[in-house]
Amino acid sequence: MTIKSVGVVGAGQMGNGIAHVFALAGYDVTLNDISQDALDQAMAVITKNLDRQVKGEKISQAERDEALNRIGTTMTLTDLGQSDLIIEAATEKEAVKHKIFQELLPHLKPDTILTSNTSSISITRLASGTDRPERFMGFHFMNPVPVMQLVELIRGIATDEATYNTMLEVVDKLGKTSATAEDFPAFIVNRILIPMINEAVYTLYEGVGSVKSIDQSMKLGANWPMGPLELADFIGLDTCLAIMNVLHDGLADTKYRPCPLLVKYVEAGWLGRKTGRGFYDYSKDEPVPTR
């Protein structure tokens, strides 16, 4: 089928980035959130990021204006029902995602494709709670969405070929690159990346190195653009922990045991950049290591 209208559930960091790239690619977008403040903030972020692209001569002023005009916002989830494609980008909690899809189901068009931007949860399990597992896929964008080139496409056990091919075309129209992953815990990127971050936290926990030395070592020794602890703060320590728990529960292998220090930071509410404190303290001009 041809996708023209897109509904995005969740106006957070991922949701606003997804709305941004779809609107810029010519799709009509409806952005939904349970909070009007979140929707207002999302539109402010999208506007700022589009302005940055104009300044960097990546897009024209006219393209920026057209993209903003293509985005509508709503606090009513069922307003998304008539979209050709729906992308769920809510919090990484399975119960929340199931609830969203259940509320949407009675209002969907027969051929609407449902997708989730989940970074780790089983697509087959999410799809099984809907009336269209054959038209359900994982559609995992990387953060920040307007900058990162990759989109992971994950087929559930029941996803049909037509849905998969439609989503391949959508990724192409967005000007991004797709990687197809099988439906196993955390897919490809996070299956590799998050255990590496967890190992960096263990390295800190066991006193092998300080926050500064660990991040410096990986930046200068492995040519990473960002150190693993700095990256963990950027992703959100709660998200890193949630993905490690999915890996540990889903694969039952002790190598995926979350580091106790990561658990402790999340329990303290030190979730990284979004709370102003994680492995770094962001209250000053320059981030300062907390250990």
Residues catalogued as catalytic:
119, 140, 152, 190
Go through 97-115 and write b for each residue having 16 or more CB atoms within 10 A of its CB, e for each that does not: bbebbeebeeebeeebbbb
Question: DSSP for 19-71?
Answer: HHHHHHTT-EEEEE-S-HHHHHHHHHHHHHHHHHHHHTTSS-HHHHHHHHHTE
Contact 103, 22 (CB under 8 A): no
Other Cβ atoms less than 10 A from the Cβ of 249: the count is 10
Q: How many whole angstroms separate alpha carbon 160 and alpha carbon 136?
A: 9
* Residue 169 DSSP SS3: helix
CA–CA distance, 27 with 231 (Å, rounded to integer)? 31
Specify burial of residue 154 (Cβ count, 10 A radius: 0-12, 13-18, 19+).
Answer: buried
Cα torsion angle, 9, 13, 19, 22, sign: negative
Please state whether beta strands 280-281 and 288-289 pair in parallel, antiparallel, or not at all (unpaired). Answer: antiparallel
- For residue 280, list its beta bridge partners: 289
Give the 3-state secondary structure percentages of the chain, helix then strand then coil, rounded to 5.
Answer: 50, 15, 35
